[in-house]
């Protein structure tokens, strides 16, 4: 009986002591935060509201965001730089109030009512200004990122590594600083936070390798142009100067460089209107220009064909596409088949394969009426039998009509009894070459379209 009473007394005493301890601790938590309490990830366990206010204010005053940059450099943005402050508005008291001192034991089993986020505010303009003054965004310190490049060598193209540079995206950096402030972080690693503007491709990217292979395909092309006995070769040593990488990191041909080169090349072989040295039948060497006779390459069409060949990586031997052809690719493209008209001496010769087929006196354009036949080298446009020539004040039938310069041509003139001499000065034609029938007929029967007609004084 005594033992049971003692046991009962011990339980009562133990309970009383525990209750006393519980109440003492409860009294402590009446003015102090629970253990494990955090505000903005800052431990405020066992502190009073006033102590927390002082702690948070003190913490904020020295708060600094460290910015880790490439090359091991670090810069800071301090709270004072951006007007950073808390905007608790009495929330510390409310936070303490929800921690019922009598429920302090629950804090060991639940995080409910242990964490609080205090709102921080900052001056947005000051933040932008501070970020703008950082060394890492100073334009004088910025190395722009660059995509991989390609270098032409006699063994083909090689890849030049990309340049990462150190250019920072200021908008992303500002965003990361703001997030760091709200989360209480004190360090931003620009690399890890993806704040740098990086090249889209690297030297190992599939697109880069594809570009290199495509460039090498293009320069493997070889185009040999033939101009009679002359040849012009376009190969990788030339093509590489036309290749470039565009803004989409694609291989393209530089139209302007290619066109400039092709125009320069073809200019040698385009002879229409160019001055030529010509040895007349009398043995005199003259320089004659003008007219429409000669070679004329269709440059636009040829560039299209050239580009197709380059993109296919082919080797071809070809003539260029011509708008107009001449009789010879020699330095004097007239060749040895032509009509020579000496308009001063009013005489015509027709050579075929170097031999005189026909010659005779003619009458050319009327000098007194300013209808002189223009000098120059022209090509025969066509020949027509039994044509009718018409003008403002005439309509004349002829048997042999051979135009070479617009409405000017060689034809028979049955209405004339005489040819040659000074007739052209006062009684000449409207510009045509009036010929005796036999002469016009012989030329007509032996001449071909495109034959050069040489007119000179």
DSSP states of 234-277: E-HHHHGGGEEE-TTS-EEE-HHHHHHHHHHHHHTT--TT--EE
Beta carbons of 435 and 419 less than 8 angstroms apart? yes
DSSP conformation class of 429: B
Q: What is the DSSP letter of 432?
A: S
Residues 452, 338 contacting (CB under 8 angstroms): yes
Residues designated as active site? 411, 432
CA angle, residues 95, 96, 98, in degrees to nearest 5: 70
CA angle (79, 82, 85) in 5-degree steps: 55
Residue 363 CB: number of other CB atoms within 10 A?
25
SS3 category, 188: strand
Q: Helix/strand/coil (H, E, C) string of 315-366? A: EEEECCCEEECCCCCCCCCCCCCEEEEECCCCEEEEEECCEEEEEEECECEC
Q: How far is CA 284 from the centre of its chain?
A: 55
- C-alpha distances in Å from residue 401, one per residue of 8, 350, 396, 441, 449: 148, 16, 11, 10, 12
Provide the 10 A C-beta neighbour count for residue 82.
23
**Nearest residue to 410 (alpha-carbon basis) of 368, 382, 390, 391:** 382
CA atoms 29, 34, 38, 42: torsion sign: positive
Q: Which residues of 200-209 are buried (b: 16+ CB within 10 A; e: fewer)?
A: ebeeebeebe
* Residue 148 CA from chain centroid, whole number: 16
List, edge to edge, every strand of the sheet that includes 230-234.
230-234, 222-227, 315-318
Alpha-carbon distance 35 to 194, whole Å? Answer: 38
């Amino acid at each position: 009986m005594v033992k049971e009473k003692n046991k009962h007394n011990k339980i009562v005493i133990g309970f009383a002591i525990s209750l006393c301890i519980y109440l003492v601790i409860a009294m402590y938590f009446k003015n102090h935060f629970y253990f494990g309490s955090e505000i903005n990830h800052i431990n405020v366990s066992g502190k009073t509201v006033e102590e927390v206010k002082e702690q948070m204010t003190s913490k904020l005053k020295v708060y600094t965001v460290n910015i880790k940059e490439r090359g091991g450099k670090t810069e800071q943005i301090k709270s004072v730089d951006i007007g950073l402050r808390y905007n608790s508005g009495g929330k510390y008291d409310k936070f303490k109030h929800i921690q019922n001192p009598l429920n302090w034991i629950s804090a060991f089993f639940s995080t409910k009512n242990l964490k609080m986020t205090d709102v921080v505010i900052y001056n947005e303009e000051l933040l932008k200004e501070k970020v703008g003054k950082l060394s890492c965004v100073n334009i004088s310190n910025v190395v722009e990122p660059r995509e991989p490049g390609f270098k032409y060598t006699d063994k083909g193209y090689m890849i030049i590594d990309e340049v990462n540079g150190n250019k920072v995206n200021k908008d992303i950096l500002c965003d990361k600083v703001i997030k760091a402030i709200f989360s209480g972080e004190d360090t931003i690693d620009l690399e890890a936070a993806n704040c740098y503007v990086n090249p889209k491709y690297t030297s190992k990217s599939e697109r880069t390798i594809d570009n290199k292979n495509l460039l090498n395909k293009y320069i493997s092309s070889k185009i040999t142009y033939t101009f009679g006995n002359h040849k012009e070769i376009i190969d990788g040593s030339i093509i590489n100067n036309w290749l470039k990488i565009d803004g989409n990191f694609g291989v393209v041909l530089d139209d302007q460089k290619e066109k400039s080169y092709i125009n320069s090349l073809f200019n040698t072989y385009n002879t229409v209107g160019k001055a030529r040295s010509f040895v007349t039948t009398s043995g005199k060497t003259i320089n004659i220009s003008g007219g429409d006779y000669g070679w004329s390459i269709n440059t636009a069409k040829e560039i299209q064909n050239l580009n197709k060949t380059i993109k296919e990586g082919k080797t071809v031997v070809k003539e260029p596409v011509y708008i107009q052809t001449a009789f010879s690719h020699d330095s004097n493209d007239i060749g040895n088949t032509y009509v020579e008209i000496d308009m001063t001496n009013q005489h015509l010769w027709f050579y075929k394969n170097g031999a005189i087929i026909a010659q005779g006196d003619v009458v050319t354009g009327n000098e007194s009426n300013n209808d002189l036949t223009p000098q120059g080298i022209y090509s025969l446009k066509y020949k027509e039998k039994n044509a009718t020539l018409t003008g403002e004040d005439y309509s004349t039938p002829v048997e042999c009509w051979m135009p070479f310069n617009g409405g000017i041509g060689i034809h028979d003139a049955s209405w004339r009894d005489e040819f040659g001499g000074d007739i052209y000065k006062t009684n000449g034609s409207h510009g045509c070459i009036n010929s005796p029938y036999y002469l016009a007929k012989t030329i007509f029967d032996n001449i071909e379209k495109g034959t050069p007609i040489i007119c000179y004084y």
